[in-house]
Amino acid sequence: MSSANSDTRLLSWGGFLSSNDAKAEKENRWILSINIVSREIVVIQHEQQHARYPFDAVLCCFANLKHENAVMIFWKNAKPPLQFFFDSASDRDSVQQILESIPKKAYERTATAIGCAAEFHTMCEKKGKMKWTARHLILCKSRILVFRDRDAKGSAFPLQMISLLEPNLQISVSQQYPKTVDIYAQEKHTFFKLKTSNEVKEFISRMSATRERMTHEAHAFAKLQMMKLSESKRNMMQKSMSARQDYVSRREISSRRFNPNDAGANGDSVRKIMLANGSTVSFKGLDNSSMTDLGSGGLNLKRKGKQIKFDKAFKPQKHKADVFLWGTARPPRLFPQQAATSVPFRHDDLSKKRFVLIATAKDGTHAMGMTDNDWSFVWGECNFTGALGLGAKTKSTLPFLMKALRKQNVVQVACSARHGVAVTVTSKAFGWGAKTLTGLDYDTQDPQPLAFLDNLGVLGVDCCGTHTAAYSMLNCDVYTFGMHGPWLGHAGSDQQGKTFGKVVFPQEVTGADKVAVAKVCTAQQYTLYLLSNGHVYTTGVNEH
């Protein structure tokens, strides 16, 4: 395919030019366009060219090792490298393939394989801040490009680019506007009005099928890149991953939070479990098969001295904990001098609250803390209404008490950029924020009970921007819910949208005695499960 037959406008990707922009204003987005006809790389914002680089100036291109989904382009004239942050790893890999093919003069063939021809296009109306405006929407591979009109000369660059492979992407029928598609991407809702309701259903079906197809292609490409590595490099990577996993397992085992058996006065066995907030819960009448023990050969009565000392440190009203902060203040008044700092400093206000647990939003700019009297505090900023759990009007706050959870005896909390969850000592769970992540039928700005987790013995919880995991510390029961994907661990599940179910472990795990889940950690595209015997299991996208 010659470059004359391709639409070079479609070789465009959206993102940011710095990590600060990626974490702050989501409106401050840029477009990186590659024109294989004029042989140049163009950086655009609001249809205005801000920088132009010829192909001959490209020296090399590397994926950024520090920041995920970022690429660095180095130039022959010793100019500062161009760093661009994409919405997904697939977008980064696509741009990297084209740039790496420039010295080999194979960029036209590479651009054809990546996609520079429209697979679907339609005229629609896009909702703006003041009114609806006509726009030309084009689907090319995994990219949805929004142009001002059909005229290629009058609309040389796209106004917006939406990646179908963005982890948080959601496409659904709008409940607010008729004949409208609601696309949640880049942490905001974008509305496109079509002519009929049938067109809306067809559009959503096409986009969902395209996303599934492109996801499989992205995974196949990642496997192919791994196969291209030499055997020595693959072995080195595998050894490094095994060493890190063994280190984490040993740290979890050495700092175990489970007491050995205590014989009751009436002869009943008593099981004590220390929760995330430091409090100890006793369970009577449980058999040994349901008791969690971190020793590989059953109960280890010799390892109990350190645990007794650890318990005493969490007595109410006597616990002391210094909290240190560094980085960029969100909100700015959170720091005394209202400035970013790379040096950790002791925060006086947070240190006075006697925190026993602090959870940060992995993909956000706020955090939660739990004190020794089971009070929950939240501080920071959020872009999604309700993520802080303090009402519809609060998107920024200094450390503030969540009054709705004040009398619930919360033992663990977790939060993401779009929602939060909490679990009490009675195994009752609460959630707030986006409905697709909390499992509720509606978005909520205040903590609401999650009835589907009642009577499941949940004592631990963790969450991220794609899903939530709730688990019991007495057995191998782990329940996940949120956006549909392999990270949920529901074997054979074909459900779309909201999904709730139990993680399916291998038979050797569920059938083993004295093995339970010690901790669960969630990430955007995978989930890690640490068992009481030190073994680590995972579900999710294989490239991680």
> Residue 479 domain-assigned?
yes
pLDDT band at 147 (very low <50, low <70, confident <90, very high): very high
Lowest mean pLDDT among 151-165, 279-293, 448-462, 521-535: 279-293
Crossing angle between the packed helical segments 107-114 and 89-100, to the nearest 10 degrees: 160
pLDDT value of position 124: 93
For position 82, which CATH number holds? 2.30.29.30
Question: For the segment 63-82, what is each residue's pLDDT rounded down to a tens digit?
Answer: 876 777 888 898 887 778 88
> Residue 343 domain-assigned?
yes
pLDDT band at 264 (very low <50, low <70, confident <90, very high): very low
Chosen domain end from 228, 253, 288: 228
pLDDT for residue 466 is more than 60: yes
> Residue 237 domain-assigned?
no
pLDDT value of position 272: 55
Average pLDDT over residues 512-537: 87
Give the N- to C-terminal CA distance of the chain in Å, as an integer. Answer: 34
pLDDT value of position 21: 63
pLDDT for residue 338 is more than 90: no
d(CA 363, CA 213): 26
**What Å distances lie between residue 297 and 301, 308, 476, 515, 532, CA to CA?**
11, 21, 18, 11, 11
> Residue 235 domain-assigned?
no
Pair (289, 156) in one structural domain:
no
pLDDT value of position 238: 52
Pair (24, 162) in one structural domain:
yes
Pair (276, 219) in one structural domain:
no
Residue 478 near residue 470 (C-beta atoms within 8 A): yes
> Residue 454 domain-assigned?
yes
Q: Which residue has the higher pLDDT, 71 or 5?
A: 71
| pTM of structure | 0.52
pLDDT for residue 210 is more than 80: yes
pLDDT for residue 237 is more than 70: no
For position 417, which CATH number holds? 2.130.10.30
> Residue 236 domain-assigned?
no
Both structure tokens of 21? 């922009």
Residues paired with residue 103 on neighbouring β-strands, in sequence order = none
Residues paired with residue 478 on neighbouring β-strands, in sequence order = 471
Q: Which helix (H) or strand (E) holds 410?
A: strand 410-415
Pair (393, 276) in one structural domain:
yes
Pair (347, 488) in one structural domain:
yes
Dihedral sign (CA 295, 301, 306, 308): positive
pLDDT value of position 331: 84
pLDDT value of position 296: 33
Mean pLDDT of the residues in the chain: 78
pLDDT value of position 276: 56
Question: For the segment 289-330, what is each residue's pLDDT rounded down to a tens digit?
Answer: 433 333 333 333 333 333 333 334 445 556 678 888 888 888
* Residue 452 φ/ψ, nearest 5 degrees: -70, -10
Question: What one-letter code names the amino acid at 427?
Answer: S
Pair (299, 372) in one structural domain:
yes
In the chain, the number of structural domains is: 2
Q: Which helix (H) or strand (E) holds 82?
A: strand 82-86
Pair (526, 449) in one structural domain:
yes
pLDDT for residue 243 is more than 90: no
Residues paired with residue 358 on neighbouring β-strands, in sequence order = 369
pLDDT value of position 258: 37
pLDDT band at 275 (very low <50, low <70, confident <90, very high): low
Tell me the residue range of the domain where 107 lies.
3-228
pLDDT value of position 235: 59
Pair (49, 124) in one structural domain:
yes
d(CA 177, CA 171): 14
Residue 516 near residue 473 (C-beta atoms within 8 A): yes
Question: For the segment 367-410, what is each residue's pLDDT rounded down to a tens digit?
Answer: 999 888 888 999 998 888 888 888 888 888 888 888 888 888 88
Both structure tokens of 473? 């510390």
Segment 41-44 long-range contacts (CB within 8 Å, at least 24 positions apart): 41/73, 41/82, 41/99, 42/157, 43/17, 43/82, 44/12, 44/157
Pair (30, 103) in one structural domain:
yes
Pair (255, 290) in one structural domain:
yes
Question: What one-letter code names the amino acid at 60?
Answer: C
Pair (312, 363) in one structural domain:
yes
Average pLDDT over residues 1-6: 46
How buried is 105 (Cβ within 10 angstroms: 0-12 exposed, 13-18 middle, 19+ buried)? exposed
In sequence order, the 6+-apart residues with CB closer than 8 A to the CB of 524 are: 167, 168, 362, 363, 464, 465, 466, 487
How buried is 96 (Cβ within 10 angstroms: 0-12 exposed, 13-18 middle, 19+ buried)? middle
> Residue 332 domain-assigned?
yes
pLDDT value of position 132: 93
Question: For the segment 91-136, what is each residue's pLDDT rounded down to a tens digit?
Answer: 888 898 888 888 888 888 888 888 888 888 899 999 988 899 999 9
Average pLDDT over residues 463-469: 91
Residue 57 near residue 75 (C-beta atoms within 8 A): yes
Chosen domain end from 228, 253, 271: 228
Question: For the segment 430-449, what is each residue's pLDDT rounded down to a tens digit?
Answer: 999 988 888 888 889 899 99
Beginning with the edge strand found earlier in the chain, give each strand of the sheet holding 269-274 in spatial order.
262-263, 269-274, 280-284
Chosen domain end from 181, 200, 228: 228
Both structure tokens of 399? 């450390």
Average pLDDT over residues 230-250: 50
Residue 49 near residue 62 (C-beta atoms within 8 A): no
115: Cα separation from own chain's centroid: 27
From the CB of residue 50, how many other CB atoms can be counted at a distance below 10 Å? 12
Both structure tokens of 381? 């900023």
pLDDT value of position 281: 52
Lowest mean pLDDT among 187-196, 208-217, 249-258, 277-286: 249-258
Pair (94, 207) in one structural domain:
yes
Residues paired with residue 467 on neighbouring β-strands, in sequence order = 482
Residue 138 near residue 120 (C-beta atoms within 8 A): yes
| Closest to 17 in 3D by CA, of 52, 43, 47 | 43
d(CA 145, CA 153): 16
How buried is 138 (Cβ within 10 angstroms: 0-12 exposed, 13-18 middle, 19+ buried)? buried
> Residue 333 domain-assigned?
yes
| Closest to 521 in 3D by CA, of 187, 252, 237, 259 | 252
Q: Which helix (H) or strand (E) holds 349?
A: helix 348-351
